[in-house]
Amino acid sequence: MLHSKNKPCIIDFSKIGSPQLGYISVAEVQKNIPFEIQRVYWAYYTPDSVMRGFHAHHQLEQILIAVSGSITLECEMLNGEKYIFELTHPNEGVYMPAYCWHTMKYSHNSVQLCIANMTYDEADYIRDYSAFISFRE
């Protein structure tokens, strides 16, 4: 599977199963995850009045999946391109490259799973929007 590492994009995880039995979806390095996995984290019980994110990263690449509920993800790349993703199915995710400014809104029942290529490093965050756009060439 080919990914452009320059822009966010949907990853369609296959569904194994049936309506009668239920489903399994799989994230697997070198099959549908374009990096070595170093960290998995999840966010949950976010009130639907809250918007999270408001940052980008220098090196972090990650895949965000709404394994339950729904998440609206807005992304902006350094070239000014903007993307809006409505994640409503547990078999799809969004790949986010480095230097992707992003915000998320959640349904209260949502569980956001993130699969990342790095362990947590606060120094990798760009939390100031004007600092983010200063990286434009």
Contacts with ligand TYD by CB under 6 A lie at: 39, 41, 43, 52-53, 120
> Taking the complex as a whole, how short is the minimal distance between the CB of residue 9 and ligand TYD, in angstroms?
20
Q: Which is nearer to ligand TYD, 15 or 72 (CB)?
A: 72
Give the shortest CB-120-to-ligand TYD separation in angstroms.
4
Cβ density class 54-80: b for 16+ within 10 Å, e for less? ebbbeebbbbbbbbebebbbbbbbbee
CB 52 within 8 A of CB 123: no
DSSP character for 7?
Answer: S
- Name the residue nearer to ligand TYD (CB basis): 39 or 89: 39
3 is catalytic: no
| Integer Cα distance of 12 and 30 in angstroms | 14
**Residue 23 or 41: which CB sits closer to ligand TYD?**
41
Q: What is the largest CA-CA distance in the chain?
A: 53
Neighbours of 94 (CB within 10 A): 21
Please report how close the Cβ of residue 39 comes to ligand TYD at its closest, in angstroms.
6
User: Shortest gap between Cβ of 92 and ligand TYD (angstroms)?
Assistant: 19
Out of 55, 89, 102, 108, pick the active-site residue: 55
Cα dihedral 14, 18, 22, 27 in deg (nearest 10): -10
Cβ closest to ligand TYD, residue 24 vs residue 50: 50
- The residues carrying an active-site annotation are 55
